[in-house]
Amino acid sequence: MTALREQGRLAKAASYTLATAGTARKNAALEAIARILTERRDEWLAANAEDIAAAKAAGMRPAMLDRLTLTGERISGIVEAVGQVVALPDPIGKVDKMETRPNGLIIGRRRVPLGVVAIIFEARPNVTVDAAALCLKSGNVCILRGGREAIRSNRKAAELMREALQSAGLPEDCVSLVQDVSHETANELMHLDGYVDVLIPRGGAGLIRAVAKEASVPVIRTGEGVCHIYVDGEADLDMAAEILYNAKCSRPSVCNAAECLLVQEDIAEAFLRKAVPLLDKHQVELRCDERALAILGDRAVPAQESDWDAEYDDYILAVRTVKGMEEAIDFINAHGTGHSEAIVTTNYFKAQRFLDAVDAAAVYVNASTRFTDGGEFGLGAEIGISTQKMHARGPMGLEELTSCKYVIYGEGQVR
């Protein structure tokens, strides 16, 4: 048996204990995790500093370095998110419905954990704790496989969380980290049938598509984020400029950041004159269609066909003019990834049409796409943003990490 299969076997064994642990024990474990991450944050920061130094030496882009970096403030935020998960209602054991059949059988549907959840993610050490916290509260064991860039940070976080689990009387294998970050081990994890119940890839489009194509275990796709801001001809242009600036520049490396601006051609020049000075604060590269390029001149570069489907994760923005909202909707449905889309308009009827017609997990009117987040939606931390339509869609909180079983009470009925 390989090391990973043994890890899977231990995780599966732990899942039977965790599934019946009860809310109080799970919350005690989460509180222990929050304490140990706070008390020993210096160890986590030191491990992260080693990852940062190695990433800089390897020439990692600044936007990706930001994803990798831990600070005292960010650790406080991670710990606070764990506390929010403690405060959330436990979905396990919740009965969705209960009815008595004509034959006297009482049939109910009860929420249960998925079991063993494997998560493959890239260089974001906060995901290690966010994912573990949500899995624990929802009664799921997790096997975490992070990127090589964050391996030291992830090892320390997993070590601390496993210590906390032991102190709370739960199996340490409720949380485990894949130590080998090779492609071969990732591939083995995708085929860990019999141990892994669900696999969730969390990262860029390339990772997600590769996992969905290769895996033989069930996959929930998350995080592909080609998000659009459509500025309508009846928009408040000052508001639109601020929304675009936030959606693109507040944190460009995350999946809810805007990658493409669609602007109605009648107001394109007026809007771009307002928006570009804000984008200039971060030297955002603008890749434009012909009409936008004619307005911006040397400030922009011509867009290639591939730019309309690009997830840049950087200070780069595709810009396209459209005749109106219907063209914008068609373009979004053709090129979006089903993540988050926004319209800026003062016209109520256009807003409602956009909400109805755009095919995405989250659709906004007059707000930044950056709000697509478990915490912002009141779910606590999130396991990812599902861009598919089966079982879970949008930010995946506790309930999205559950399945159901039917429970049937009888009095000797036979068929």
Average pLDDT over residues 57-64: 87
CA dihedral angle for residue 371, residue 375, residue 381, residue 387, rounded to 10 degrees: -30
Average pLDDT of the segment spanning 269-284 = 97
- pLDDT score of 205 more than 80: no
Mean pLDDT of 220-237: 92
3-state DSSP call for residue 58?
A: coil
pLDDT confidence bin for 88, thresholds 50/70/90:
very high
Residue 163 has pLDDT above 80, yes or no: yes
Task: Kindly state the DSSP code that residue 233 receives in the 8-state scheme.
Answer: T
Looking at the DSSP bridge assignments, the partners of residue 198 are 117
- Residue 192 pLDDT more than 80? yes
At 217 the pLDDT is 94
> For 108-127, what is the HEC assignment?
EEEEEECCEEEEEECCCHHH
Q: Examine the pLDDT at 209 and tell me if it is beyond 90.
A: no
Q: What is the mean pLDDT of the chain?
A: 94
- Tell me the C-alpha distance between 68 and 49, whole Å: 10
pTM as predicted: 0.83
Distances (CA, A) of 100 to 80, 84, 404: 43, 37, 18
pLDDT at 66 over 90: no
23-27, 65-69, 221-225, 264-268: segment of lowest average pLDDT: 221-225
Q: Is the pLDDT of residue 235 over 90?
A: yes
Which two three-digit tokens encode residue 327? 């063209």
Q: Is the pLDDT of residue 380 over 90?
A: no
